[in-house]
A and B are shown apart, each in its own frame.
Chain A
């Protein structure tokens, strides 16, 4: 079974500071990895995804993530936090032929002005 671990349910970051959200996965087959963002009372919006091509993936809103197989990680970063980045972020994993996403518990990001 595939799984994802996201540590730290709540993450506080100062406006303009680096945003770093950690995601570690477990998968016995090559994974496909995703980061989704959820704003209050809304569904999940895709930020970026890794599909076995480039290991450094750039997404929307200035976010990027790097796939590191040796560390089984797919951490999400943004160089400079903006107030509009306040939301919940989910890492998810799936694989070839799989028909479901396995999500982490999520990180609630608070941006401090």
Chain B
């Protein structure tokens, strides 16, 4: 079946511009996660959505970062006024149900490589 898809695969932008990154989770998965992978910091959690609950935004590095999930499916991560330190690979993952006591596997997309010039 179809896995997690992300678009675009690569994005080059100029410092100060806004960017939007898209994630399509696996159909039926209610939990969706965003992570950032950078050389200096490794893999970092950014934000988590579970069904209709309020998202856990505790991993967002600054108020320039925001995300939404429409209709419980597709999610968009928005970075405003991009900075060079935002350059990284942004990974999206989804799982069937989170926090149930089971170690629900997170399935990852291929990522979006963001380069801020």
Name A's B-contacting residues (CB within 8 A). Answer: 32, 34, 36, 41-46, 49-51, 90, 92, 94, 96-106
Bound: A57/B101 CA distance, A: 19
Q: Given contacts A99-B98, A100-B59, is CB(A41)–CB(B110) below 8 Å?
A: yes
Residues of B within 8 A of A32 (CB): 103
**Which residues of chain B come closer than 8 Å to A46, judged between CB atoms?**
105-107
The answer, yes or no, to whether B79 is at the interface (CB within 8 Å) is: no
B50 touches A99 (CB 8 A): yes
Question: Is B25 close to A, CB under 8 A?
Answer: no
Among the listed B50, B101, B102, B109, which residue makes an inter-chain contact with A43, where contact means beta carbons less than 8 Å apart? B109
Q: Is the CB of A44 within 8 A of B108?
A: yes
- Interface residue B42 (Cβ < 8 Å from any Cβ of A): yes
Q: Are A43 and B59 in contact (CB under 8 A)?
A: no
Alpha-carbon separation in the docked complex, A66 to B63 (Å): 41
Q: Is B56 an interface residue (CB 8 A)?
A: yes
A34 CA to B107 CA, complexed, in Å: 12
The verdict on A100 contacting B43 (CB below 8 Å), with A44-B108, A49-B105, A51-B102 known, is no
Q: Which residue of A lies closest to B58 (CB)?
A: A100
Q: Is B31 an interface residue, CB under 8 A from the partner?
A: yes
Q: Let me know if B102 and A102 touch, CB within 8 A.
A: no
Q: Which of A43, A45, A92, A101 neighbours the largest number of chain B CB atoms within 10 Å of its CB? A: A43
Given A49-B103, A99-B98, A100-B48, residue A42 in contact with residue B42 (CB < 8 A): no
Knowing A43-B108, A43-B109, A43-B110, the reply to whether A97 touches B4 (Cβ < 8 A) is no
